[in-house]
Structure 1
């Protein structure tokens, strides 16, 4: 298994950050077949595989805003208003995703990208752990 830690700045606004190229570069370094696991070790962020651009990322943020409004209903209270909802996000957008790799290439569909979903405006520093698991020893 090979691993790499990505250090990202997501800014002070809710964001979806495309990390597909970073993942692609990582798995191409060693080539081979296996699985890429993408994991974000944060309680207020997640990883998704979806089409990005063409409005899809804005649609996802709007959906999360509709489902989980940033208001005072949340029992988890610290940080900016509605921050408690950020702690619920990983239940809907999990903190990990796994992608097959064949011949050192991600086996994503034509319109699929790997993205970090971060709604926590209080913490713009994020880490993403990439792990490439192969069957060969």
Structure 2
């Protein structure tokens, strides 16, 4: 197994951040052949999604999360920015992990799919992401 932790700057706004380039670079550095790429976010307020980016789906995901999990005062978890409790519930809907098949060193994603970090927590501008390749 080859594993590496990277830092991703998400800034002070909600974001869907495409990690495809980081994943490709990691697989090259790992000398990956066939196997599985596991992507893990060790945070209680971030998740990973495999979606299309750049055509509005990333913004649609954030809008859907705002509708499903409003950033108001209904949450019992109350530290941080107003509505921060929603950020702690979000990983139940957008999990903090993803596993992608790898063949010949390439992720077997669909034509428009990307591995994306989903971060609704505006209080934490830097995230860690663990990339692990398990050879088949």
For the criterion TM > 0.5, the same-fold answer is yes
Question: Which residue matches 2:49?
Answer: 48
Q: Distance between the aligned counterparts of 1:28 and 1:105, measured in 2?
A: 9
Question: Which residue matches 2:80?
Answer: 79
Q: Distance between the aligned counterparts of 1:73 and 1:31, measured in 2?
A: 46
Q: Distance between the aligned counterparts of 1:117 and 1:43, measured in 2?
A: 12
TM-score by length of 1: 0.97
Question: Which residue matches 2:18?
Answer: 18
1:25 deviates by 1.4
**Moved >2 Å (runs of 4+):** none
TM-score by length of 2: 0.97
1:26 deviates by 1.0
Question: Which residue matches 2:121?
Answer: 120
- How many pairs were matched up? 135
Any idea what the Cα deviations from partners look like across 1:71-97, whole Å, max 9, x if unmatched?
Answer: 000000100100000000000000000
Question: Which residue matches 1:67?
Answer: 68
Q: Distance between the aligned counterparts of 1:24 and 1:112, measured in 2?
A: 13
8 Å contact kept, 2:2–2:132: yes
1:28 deviates by 2.4
1:35 deviates by 0.1
8 Å contact kept, 2:4–2:131: yes
